[in-house]
Amino acid sequence: MTDSTMAVPSTMGAFISLIKRDLMLSYRHRNELLNPLLFFVIVVTLFPLGVSPEKILLQTMAPGVIWVAALLAAMLSLDTLFKSDYEDGTLEQMMLSPHSNAVLVLAKITSHWLVTGVPIILLAPLLGLFMFLPGDGIITLMLTLLLGTPILSLVGAIGMALTLGLNRGGMLLSLLVLPLYIPVLIFSANAVDASMAGLAIKGQLYFLSALLVLSITLAPLAAATALKISVE
């Protein structure tokens, strides 16, 4: 018995190789990844054209516009999270692994964040400049995105896992997930506003960090349970 349990690779090993596999898959599907990012960039760049190129106006709108675009882009990208695994049966096999499903789900969410969240964070300063955000504002924007985008991936994973078995789950997904995204949006956009006004942003960042810790702890468990139901 001890002999057989020793040969099973560690959960950490499975976690890392699942992340590696997902990153490799994303790399071979580069085009799919580009869509949400293009959406993010296009939405933000259209605002000056559509509203007004006035500096003051754009500056006031910038935190909200960039965050709303990031949030919608994150939601668009959720589709790739479990769908292909569900369709080709690898998700089923994942559920039958002796490792904790929550850990494997966390691996999938992590790699999803690496390929969707991180590019959004990296693109944000460029778009911030576009919208005349001052230096302080850009730094805060990146900080809030750094804390916020993982929450979007984690919470989105629960919604995606719940709607996986449904044919047209897209609408339901937004209904489920958007209300949970709203606190992130409010605190993040508010933090960027406050930093531009020279006010303290500690409170908002603490709140976002708390939300992040909460969702890292609970979301993988919830998503793993939801996946079990969806696979059935």
Partner 1 sequence: MTDAVAGLHLKSVSCTRGYRDLFTDLDFKLCPGQVLRVEGKNGSGKTSLLRIMAGLAQPLEGEVLWQGRKIHHAESDYFQNLLFLGHRAAIKFELSPIENLCMAKSLYGSKTENGLEEALYQVGLYGFEDIPCARLSAGQKRRVALAQLFLTRAKCWILDEPYTSLDVAAVALLEKLFTQHIDDGGMLVITSHQPVTLQAGEQHRLVLPKTQLEQLV
Q: Enumerate binding residues for partner 1 (CB under 8 A).
A: 4-5, 7-9, 13-14, 17-18, 21, 24-25, 28-29, 84, 87-90, 92-99, 104, 231-232
Q: How far is the CB of 106 from partner 1 (least distance, A)?
A: 15
C-beta closer to partner 1: residue 24 or 175: 24
Structure tokens belonging to residue 81 = 């999270």
Count Cα neighbours of 90 within 13 Å in the Cβ-side half-sphere: 12
Q: How far is the CB of 6 from partner 1 (least distance, A)?
A: 9
C-beta closer to partner 1: residue 9 or 53: 9
C-beta closer to partner 1: residue 1 or 56: 1
Q: How far is the CB of 220 from partner 1 (least distance, A)?
A: 16
The three-point CA angle 15-16-21 to 5° equals: 100
Sign of CA dihedral 219, 189, 118, 70: positive
C-beta closer to partner 1: residue 21 or 176: 21
C-beta closer to partner 1: residue 4 or 167: 4
What's the Cα-to-Cα distance from 223 to each of 57, 170, 198, rounded to whole Å?
41, 17, 39
Q: How far is the CB of 26 from partner 1 (least distance, A)?
A: 10
Spatial separation of the C-alpha atoms in residues 14 and 10, rounded to whole Å: 6
The answer to whether the CB of 152 falls within 8 A of the CB of 118 is no
Q: How far is the CB of 89 from partner 1 (least distance, A)?
A: 3
The three-point CA angle 38-207-175 to 5° equals: 50
Spatial separation of the C-alpha atoms in residues 47 and 45, rounded to whole Å: 6
